[in-house]
Amino acid sequence: MYDIVVLGAGAVGLSTAVCIQNALPGRQVTIIADKFTTETTSHGAAGIFRPTTEKTPVKSLEQFRKWCTDSFAWFHLLNTELDPAQTGVSRVTGYQFLEQPSEKLPFHHDIIYNFRTLTDQELKSLPGNHKAGWTYTTLMIESRRYLPWLTKRFLSQGGTLESRTVNDIRSFAGRCSVLVNCCGLGAAPLCNDPDVFPVRGHLVRVLAPWMKHFYVWDGGDSYIYPGQDNIAIGGTRHVGEYDVIKDADYWFKDVLDRSTRLFPALKDAHIDRKWVGLRPHRTYLRLETETVRCGEQTLKVVHNYGHGANGIALSWGTSLEAAALVRQTSVAAATLVRQTSSVNSKL
CA 30/CA 3 separation, integer angstroms: 8
156 is in an annotated binding site: no
Cα–Cα distance measured from residue 300 to residue 293, given in angstroms and rounded to the nearest whole number: 9
| C-alpha angle 237-219-217 in degrees, rounded to nearest 5 | 105
Burial group, residue 344, by CB count within 10 angstroms (0-12, 13-18, 19+): exposed
Q: Where are the beta strands (DSSP E) in the chain?
A: 4-7, 29-33, 89-98, 113-117, 132-141, 160-163, 178-181, 196-207, 214-217, 222-226, 231-234, 238-239, 270-282, 286-294, 297-305
**Residues pairing with 161 in the sheet:** 31
CA distances, 135 to each of 126, 157, 215, 272 (Å): 11, 39, 9, 28
- Do the strands 214-217 and 89-98 form a parallel or antiparallel pair, or are they unpaired? parallel
Q: Is 279 annotated as a binding residue?
A: yes
Q: 166 a known binding residue?
A: yes
Q: What is the DSSP letter of 127?
A: S
Is 330 annotated to bind a ligand? Reply is: no
- Report DSSP state, residue 265: G
The reply, when asked if residue 41 is annotated as ligand binding, is yes
Q: Annotated binding site for FAD, which residues?
A: 41-42, 166
- Residue set of the binding site: 41-42, 166, 223, 279
Binding site residue list for D-dopa: 223, 279
